[in-house]
Chain A
Amino acid sequence: MSDGRTYVAVVDDDDSFARAISRLLRAAGIESVVFASAEAFLRDPTRPAADCLVLDIQLGGMSGLDLHRRLSSQGEITPVIFVTAHDEPDSRVQAHEAGCVAYLRKPFRGELLLEAIRHAVGGKPETPKP
């Protein structure tokens, strides 16, 4: 974002989980916006502004992996962190092959996510919340 803050887009169809992540990020001074589906995310014209994407793999419609593929094919190279409640060797391999910053299995420690985001935005300084 133009004001130098880190801004993360979270796509997860589990309402409570998405809310929890967005709180965790806010507590760490990171702005986030939540989408309940890949389709809703694609419809949002402001999405290129995100510094990092947190994508759930199993979503209602298009999966997180498919969404990532679609964005990459359009040349949108925002760093991606995959999260999943249903860990399968298959999707783990696909996630790593797709080139993600991290692959986190729910439930995961918040510090892992925050570290992955810091890594993703490449040392971009976080402005703590006033």
Chain B
Amino acid sequence: MLILHSHGREFAPFSIISATFRTELARQSPEPLEFYEASMEASRYEEAATDGPLVDYLQTMFAERQLDLIMTTAEPSSLFMARNRSQVFPDAPLVAVVNQRMISAMAGTTNTTIVPVYIELPVLIENILQVLPATTNVVMVLGKSPFELYWTEQCQREFAPFTNRVAVNYANELTFDQIRTRVANLPPQSAVLYGMLAMDAAGVPYEQERALSDLRAVANAPVFGVLEHHLGKGIVGGRLVSMEALGREAARAGLALLRHEQPADIRPTAPAKPVYDWRELRRWNINESSLPPGSEVRFRVPSFWEQYKWQLIAIHTLCLAEGLLIFILLRNRRRLRRTQSELRQSEERLSMATTSAKVGVWSWKIASGDIEATPEAKRMFGWEANEPVTFPMFLARLHPDDRAAVQESVDRALQSQAIYDIQYRIVLPAGQTRWISARGRAQYENGSPVNMLGVLLDVTEREQAQIEAQRQRAELAHVARVSTMGELAASVAHELNQPLGAILSNAEAAEMFLQQDPPALTDVREILTDIRKDDERAGEVIRRMRALLRKREMEMLPLDLNSVVEDVFRLISGDAALRKTTLTAELAPRLPAVLGDRVHLQQVLLNLTMNALEAMARQPAETRRLMVRTRINEDGTVEAEVTDTGPGIEADKLPHVFEPFFTTKPSGMGMGLSIARRIIEAHQGHVSAANNTSGGATFRVTLPSPAEELKA
């Protein structure tokens, strides 16, 4: 068996054909085979004027040996055999892998099976236009070796019909470095078509796959290909010619010839197939629906679900079981808490009864409606000490908004033998409103209520103090928020200028595109989409700021402290980036909910983190780190910790940092931390400051979690 190479044994892509041929033939042949290989090292397509030496060499070599089959790859060796076989090996059949364009030159050779290589050049461009219809510019990568120049000429001729749609540039006059620069800086709507690169314009030879992967690494446009073995090495795909399939067909033909089948009956064929690389399609955002029908997509990475199906099912089952467990625990906790609250009420009753002067005592005869009351009780309601009092008189004193609630509470106490316990407002004749806390219990005879006894307490001062405190807190929190916003203003301006800048440039570009002839409407359409997105982005910045500036009452709701930390990180991330500070959050998983006001807690954390950022301003940039940690303490409280790598707080100042008007900042008002403490105390929590052993300071906010009550 003789394999005669045209361009050298290792010259790709033909080396793949001959290697496959060799392997397949050896695998399928019933008898052991002996291969001889020779190469023409041809470098030109013109008629070789010097067949002589090779003819002599082959004659000498095979003078004593009987050849059963000859295989040639590419045209030089095939044509050489066509010319000289009658002289050298008149009896051995020939399998010739030949470019379909050159087959006519093989006419007249007998005892020969031709494996035609169909490279339909127009199909290459059609494929690019099918997959990326907007393409207007193609760079054809083919080097400057004679073989590549032949194909460049073929391309130039056969791509001509596309001139109106795509401009094709050829790379054969460029050095490899120039090709790299070219493909890295292509205008939009470009594509690269990689044929091969065996030798560049400077005459430097390149090992093919390296040239391809280098180009793919720098290209700013998708790289299409011609040959199937380039798939997986960076080309998107296309109707690719498979060198392996050609090798297999040549082997099939060879075996048939060895079995003495008629050469004309064998008809080998290896049509190009549409094959694509899934990773490249993803990279260039090419939808699989735009591929030609019947396309094969290779190198698909299985989706997360496909890859981790069983793990995911297991995790979901676990979550479900856990959910069930949590439900049961919550129900138990609710029961426990009810018992606890009843206990607390009786304690309070006791303490109220022992309070002396401010307590009024009353007794209500239900049948007659008469009320007996101590002078203190009458004084609270604005009645004369000797004035007889009735139940309708009592109802008349009640604040209209509270009347229904009191009536209902009385009815419930009478019907269910429960304790009467309510706080209501009364309006005195002079128009004054007072807050009264009342408790009582009905006495029964033969199962029906006859009398109700109880005590009264004027709690107006306490209520007013509470209302005032709440108002002040809201006020102060607002003031602090506004001042923190002032500090944030720099980053807000940054966040607004980005979309505004993009909108302005886009609008100007659109004007220019519209003035072109014809107007570049596709570009204008894309611009309008981007402008809309940027407008929404700017709107979002403003909405976030407004939410923070709004003045409001405290609203205690169960909330996740982790999500508060995340909110605050979103607010300060711009500022942190400007200050070149690394933000890290270590959030404890399954943190129990705390009862709190989201905006106020945000305010506290915002204040602590902004202070920390400022404290680090004079540290070297690479050491600036702001870390927020959340954790559950052993006593069930929930904690958020803000740690910086600043200079820390001087030991003598540490005890005073939460005092009003105390400040370490030259520009600070000294209000932030005192307000933070008031807010946290309003949440029944506490806040503390300490220096880290490794430098910097840590502020710690501890909040009770409702779960903590279990242990009380």
Contact = CB atoms under 8 A, between A and B. Distances in A.
B187 A107 contact: no
A30 B181 CA distance: 16
A28 B510 CA distance: 11
Contact of A46 (B218, B499, B501, B578): B218
Contact of A23 (B493, B501, B527): B527
Chain B interface extent, by class: 35 or more
Interface string B506-538: 101100110010001001001100100110010
Contact of A85 (B181, B187, B501): B501
B577 A60 contact: yes
B593 interface: no
A21 interface: yes
Interface stretch (A11-19, A72-80, A94-102): A11-19
Interface string B582-616: 00000000000000000000000000000000000
Contact of B181 (A17, A49, A58): A49
19 contacts: A17-B499, A17-B501, A19-B530, A23-B506, A24-B506, A24-B512, A27-B513, A31-B185, A45-B218, A46-B181, A85-B498, A85-B501, A86-B491, A86-B493, A106-B498, A110-B504, A110-B505, A110-B509, A129-B516
Interface string A46-82: 1001000000001010000000000000000000000
Given A45-B180, A49-B181, A17 B505 contact: yes
A26 interface: yes
Interface of B: 178, 180-181, 184-185, 187-188, 218, 220, 490-491, 493-495, 497-506, 508-509, 512-513, 516, 520, 523, 526-527, 530, 533-534, 537, 577-578
A57 B91 CA distance: 78
Among B185, B493, B501, chain A packs the most CB atoms within 10 A around the CB of B501
B95 to A, nearest CB: 45
Contacts of B498: 14, 16-17, 85, 106
B512 A28 contact: yes
B497 A16 contact: no
Given A21-B505, A27-B513, A31-B185, A106 B497 contact: yes
A11 to B, nearest CB: 15
Contact of B504 (A23, A27, A109): A109
Contacts of A28: 512
A14 B490 contact: no
Contacts of B491: 86
Interface string A96-130: 00000000011111110100000000000000010
A37 to B, nearest CB: 13
Nearest 10 A/B pairs, CB to CB: A106-B501, A85-B497, A27-B512, A110-B508, A20-B505, A107-B501, A86-B494, A23-B509, A24-B509, A107-B504
Contacts of B497: 85-86, 105-107
B509 A33 contact: no
A58 B577 contact: yes
Given A16-B530, A85-B494, A86-B490, A49 B501 contact: no
Contacts of A49: 181, 185
A1 interface: yes
A89 B433 CA distance: 59
Contact of B505 (A1, A24, A85): A24
Contact of B506 (A7, A20, A111): A20
A19 B516 CA distance: 20
Contacts of A129: 516
A1 B494 contact: no
* Most-contacted residue by chain B among A16, A105, A109 (CB, 10 A): A16
Given A16-B534, A86-B493, A27 B187 contact: no
Given A16-B502, A20-B530, A27-B509, 8 more contacts: A14-B501, A20-B506, A23-B527, A33-B185, A45-B180, A58-B578, A86-B490, A107-B505
Interface residues of A, number: 34
A45 B490 CA distance: 36
A44 B185 CA distance: 11
B185 A109 contact: no
Nearest to A7: B185
B214 to A, nearest CB: 10
Nearest to A17: B502
Given A31-B187, A44-B184, A108 B530 contact: no
Contacts of A21: 505
B134 to A, nearest CB: 14
Contacts of B578: 58, 86
B542 to A, nearest CB: 16
B405 to A, nearest CB: 56
B224 to A, nearest CB: 21
Contacts of A58: 494, 577-578
Contact of B509 (A1, A17, A20, A60): A20
A2 B523 contact: no
A55 to B, nearest CB: 14
A7 to B, nearest CB: 7
A24 B526 CA distance: 13
B505 A33 contact: no
Nearest to B537: A16
A46 B500 contact: no
A88 B408 CA distance: 66
A2 B499 CA distance: 35
A33 B184 contact: yes
Nearest to A86: B494
Contacts of A33: 184-185, 220
A33 B526 CA distance: 18
A114 to B, nearest CB: 9
Contacts of A107: 497, 500-501, 503-505
Interface centre among A2, A26, A105, A109 (most CB of B within 10 A): A26
Contacts of A83: 501
A112 to B, nearest CB: 10
A107 to B, nearest CB: 4
Contacts of B499: 16-17
Listed residue (B178, B180, B504) with the most chain A CB atoms within 10 angstroms of its CB: B504
Contacts of B509: 20, 23-24, 26-27, 110
Contacts of A108: 501, 504
A86 B495 CA distance: 9
A129 B495 CA distance: 34
Nearest to B508: A110
Contacts of B505: 17, 20-21, 23-24, 107, 110, 113
Contacts of B180: 45-46
B336 to A, nearest CB: 51
B112 to A, nearest CB: 48
A111 B493 CA distance: 23
Contacts of B577: 58, 60
Nearest to B181: A46
A14 B509 CA distance: 17
Contacts of B495: 85
Contacts of A26: 187-188, 509, 523
A7 B184 CA distance: 12
A95 to B, nearest CB: 16
A99 B681 CA distance: 54
Nearest to A1: B185
Contact of A109 (B502, B508, B523, B533): B508
A91 to B, nearest CB: 10
Contacts of B523: 23, 26-27
